[in-house]
Amino acid sequence: MLEKLIFVINCGSSSLKFSVINPIKKKKILYGLAENFNDKSSIIWNFNNKKNEITFNNKITHKFVLNYIIKEIFKKYSLYDNIVGIGHRIVHGGNKFTNSTLITDIVLKEIKRASVFAPLHNPIQIVGIKKIKTILPHLKNKQVAVFDTSFHQTMPIESYLYGLPIKFYKKYKIRRYGAHGTSHKYVTKVAAKFLNIELNNFNCISCHLGNGSSITAINNGKSIDTSMGLTPLEGLVMGTRCGNIDPAIIFYMYDKLNFNINKIYNILTQKSGMLGLTNITSDFRYIEENYYKNKNIKIATNVFIHSLIKYIASYSVLMNNKINAIIFTGGIGENSVLIREKTIKKLKILKFFIDKNLNYKTKQGKMGIISTHLSIPILVIPTNEELMIAQDTFKIINNLKY
């Protein structure tokens, strides 16, 4: 019998990540990345632990890349007939989607409607969905949308409303939506299983720390608050995003510094965060190596940790009656021994105690507990958004219990 595989597609503004996954065996068969669409574009992929690359001297598009993957790469490895469904990562689902869903014309319209909150992502993700319909017509009704926002649709109204005139919510749907939902959902499930607690009774604080970072408070397996907002700009200090700032800073930049709106947007999203504070880099490998050597790096890192502990501490009071675990994931959460140690050391009051040795050993894809026996469990769980997308897709196209 043919092995049933899911094609997972993540269209970024000028990149496209893809993978082919066996959702039952939880096995990644193929994965790759197309990037630099406007310049020296390339598609890099890995099959059977062998890296392959093709470069193009001209501009490429998402449509071109999808065509290449299906017509050339799938053909090369005879994968075409194994693909039974396609899972699309969709950045913003607005307030309509509480779960992943089969893509219909109505769903497409909603994704389009939510584009106003993710203008660089949703439109290009629609392009991907439409292109698949033409290259894989036999699978046109086997496409599933997995939203970054849907896991957070369980937040109560007091978590998602901003202190703005209510018409901005009622008329314009301006509210907190959150992001990284697929990752928070995945690590929560894995953590509950690891600790042998029913997901429905599991309370935790999930810290996804990567180039973009967010924290989520989870009660009974459901998101009840999260640090990202209408867009991923709110919340923690991130790689290049500023996170929480006084909105008056924007008026200051506009009125007093005469910066136009595009320039301000660019500063807040691309030039701020750890890159802006260190004035060197947003790469935590470099930051970790130089924490004790470079004063600016030390200050920036301490700002990052300060914003992290404030969220963890405030979310701890939202937990039902107990916290079952705190989870670290994402490139920094999974690997930065320094950030985890310095963060947890400041959380003694909440009964979190780190085991230095376990912390040191748990990195580079390792999963495990890094707390002492006196502590509430502190877990490191490598995220796997693609697997989550593949599993959701497989369940939905087969009408399996969700």
CB atoms under 10 Å from CB of 3, counted, come to 13
Q: Count residues binding ligand ADP (CB under 6 A).
A: 14
Question: Which positions ≥6 away from 174 have C-beta within 8 Å?
Answer: 162, 164, 168, 230
331 binds ligand ADP (CB under 6 A): yes
330 binds ligand ADP (CB under 6 A): yes
35 binds ligand ADP (CB under 6 A): no
Q: How far apart are the C-alpha atoms of 236 and 307, rounded to whole Å? A: 6
Instruction: Measure CA 319 to chain center.
Output: 22
Least Å distance, CB 176 to ligand ADP, is 19
Q: DSSP code of 377? A: P
Nearer Cβ to ligand ADP (128/333): 333
Please tell me which residue in 39, 81, 105, 148 is annotated as part of the active site: 148
288 binds ligand ADP (CB under 6 A): yes
Member of 118, 217, 332, 344 binding ligand ADP (CB under 6 A):
332
CB 209, CB 336: distance < 8 Å: yes
Q: Which two tokens stand for residue 222?
A: 């459901």
Q: DSSP code of 366? A: -
Least Å distance, CB 280 to ligand ADP, is 12
285 binds ligand ADP (CB under 6 A): yes
Nearer Cβ to ligand ADP (210/276): 210
341 binds ligand ADP (CB under 6 A): no
Which among 32-40, 48-56, 303-311, 325-333 is the span making contact with ligand ADP, rule CB under 6 A?
325-333
Q: Which two tokens stand for residue 239?
A: 């790689």
**Cα–Cα separations (whole angstroms), residue 75 to 56, 68, 148:** 20, 10, 31
Q: How far apart are the C-alpha atoms of 401 and 122, rounded to whole Å? A: 28
Nearer Cβ to ligand ADP (288/341): 288
14 binds ligand ADP (CB under 6 A): no
115 binds ligand ADP (CB under 6 A): no
Name the H helices within 228-350.
248-255, 261-266, 273-278, 284-290, 295-316, 330-335, 337-345
Identify residues 233-252 at the interface with ligand ADP (CB under 6 A). 239
Q: How far apart are the C-alpha atoms of 283 and 211, rounded to whole Å? A: 8
Site string for ligand ADP, 153-192 (x = CB under 6 A): ----------------------------------------
Least Å distance, CB 383 to ligand ADP, is 7
CB 144, CB 396: distance < 8 Å: yes
Q: DSSP code of 124? A: H
94 binds ligand ADP (CB under 6 A): no
Exposure on the CB side of residue 286, measured as CA atoms within 13 A: 13
Nearer Cβ to ligand ADP (239/377): 239
225 is catalytic: no
Report the residue number whose CB is nearest to ligand ADP: 331
Question: Which positions ≥6 away from 165 have C-beta within 8 Å?
Answer: none
Least Å distance, CB 283 to ligand ADP, is 4
Site string for ligand ADP, 195-214 (x = CB under 6 A): ---------------xxx--
CB 6, CB 87: distance < 8 Å: yes
Nearer Cβ to ligand ADP (181/212): 212
CB 74, CB 65: distance < 8 Å: no
Nearer Cβ to ligand ADP (95/368): 368
Active site positions, annotated? 148
| Contacting positions for ligand ADP (CB under 6 A) | 210-212, 239, 282-285, 288, 330-332, 335-336
